[in-house]
């Protein structure tokens, strides 16, 4: 008689273990599915679909308020900056950073300043995306509506470059429509 109870207890334990395993797999699967859906939603927010883009270059429009500024007024050749933004055929946008009298110098970032050398910072709607060390930079999906893509030039020591007291900056406006 005890043998029957032992087999029943063993079967109950296996059934509980199986139910717990199923519950755990369901919970983990649901969490992964939820995270995946959230991530996909964030990636698709403002996904380019049938939109047009208009760009307006702002040149050196933003006033300088940074504590560390390098004036380029006495340089042999003042750097210039312009930008253009193009829709990427795959996804997102391609930013073209067009400079004269300026060399992108990734190897010297954080080192001593060299006249005409440095990097750029890129911002979308006031949020810094990162540094740029060349003429092209890919930007992911932008939200619907008007978006400002701003680029500013910086010296090797991360000081902003300014000409006539104005930070060297270019802004392109990208309009994302549904």
Q: Going residue by residue through the chain, which has 178 residues, state the pLDDT in tens, using 9 for 90 and above.
A: 555 555 666 667 677 676 766 666 666 655 555 544 444 344 434 333 333 333 333 333 333 334 699 999 999 999 999 999 999 999 999 999 999 999 999 999 999 999 999 999 999 999 999 999 999 999 999 999 999 999 999 999 999 999 999 999 999 999 998 7
* Domain assignment present for 35: yes
Residues 92 and 33 in one domain: no
* Domain assignment present for 170: yes
Give me the pLDDT at residue 27, please.
61
* H/E element, 36: helix 2-44
Residues 154 and 75 in one domain: yes
DSSP characters over 49-80: SS---------S-SBP--SSEEE-TTSSS--E
Give me the pLDDT at residue 91, please.
93
Residues 114 and 30 in one domain: no
* Domain assignment present for 57: no
* Domain assignment present for 49: no
Give me the pLDDT at residue 116, please.
96
What would you measure as the largest C-alpha separation in the chain, in angstroms?
A: 102
Residues 22 and 94 in one domain: no
The beta-strand segments (E) located in the chain are 69-71, 80-87, 93-100, 103-104, 117-124, 127-132, 136-139, 145-154, 160-163, 166-167, 169-176
How many domains are contained in the chain? 2
Residues 85 and 31 in one domain: no
Q: How far apart are CA 4 and CA 10, in angstroms?
A: 10
Give me the pLDDT at residue 104, please.
97
Task: Answer whether 139's CB lies under 8 Å from 129's CB.
Answer: yes
Look up residue 153 and give its two tokens. Answer: 């030039």
Look up residue 173 and give its two tokens. Answer: 């406006």
Give me the pLDDT at residue 11, please.
67
Q: Number of C-alpha atoms within 13 angstroms, CB side, residue 92? A: 9
Q: Which structural domain, as residue segments, surrounds residue 21?
A: 1-44
* Domain assignment present for 62: no
Catalogue the long-range contacts made by 48-51 (C-beta closer than 8 Å, 24 or more residues apart): 48/87, 48/91, 48/92, 48/93, 48/141, 48/142, 48/176, 49/178, 50/177, 50/178, 51/87, 51/175, 51/176, 51/177, 51/178
* Domain assignment present for 123: yes
- CATH code of the domain containing 96: 2.60.40.10
CA neighbor of 153 nearest in space, from 164, 167, 137, 172: 167
Instruction: Tell me the pTM.
Output: 0.63
Residues 82 and 168 in one domain: yes
């Amino acid at each position: 008689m005890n043998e029957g109870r032992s087999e029943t207890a063993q079967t109950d334990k296996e059934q509980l273990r199986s139910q717990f395993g199923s519950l755990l797999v369901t919970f983990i699967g649901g969490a992964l599915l939820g995270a995946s859906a959230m991530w996909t939603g964030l990636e698709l927010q403002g996904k380019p679909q049938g939109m047009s883009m208009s760009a307006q270059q702002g040149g050196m429009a933003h006033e300088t308020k940074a504590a560390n500024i390098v004036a380029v007024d006495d340089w042999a050749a003042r750097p210039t900056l312009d930008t253009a933004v193009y829709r990427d055929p795959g996804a997102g946008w391609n930013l073209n950073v067009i400079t004269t009298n300026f060399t992108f110098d990734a190897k010297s970032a954080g080192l001593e300043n060299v006249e005409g050398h440095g990097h750029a910072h890129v911002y979308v709607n006031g949020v810094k995306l990162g540094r740029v060390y060349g003429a092209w930079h890919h930007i992911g999906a932008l939200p619907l509506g008007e978006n400002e893509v701003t680029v500013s030039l910086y010296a090797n020591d991360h000081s902003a470059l300014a000409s006539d007291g104005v930070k060297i900056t270019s802004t392109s406006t990208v309009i994302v429509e549904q």
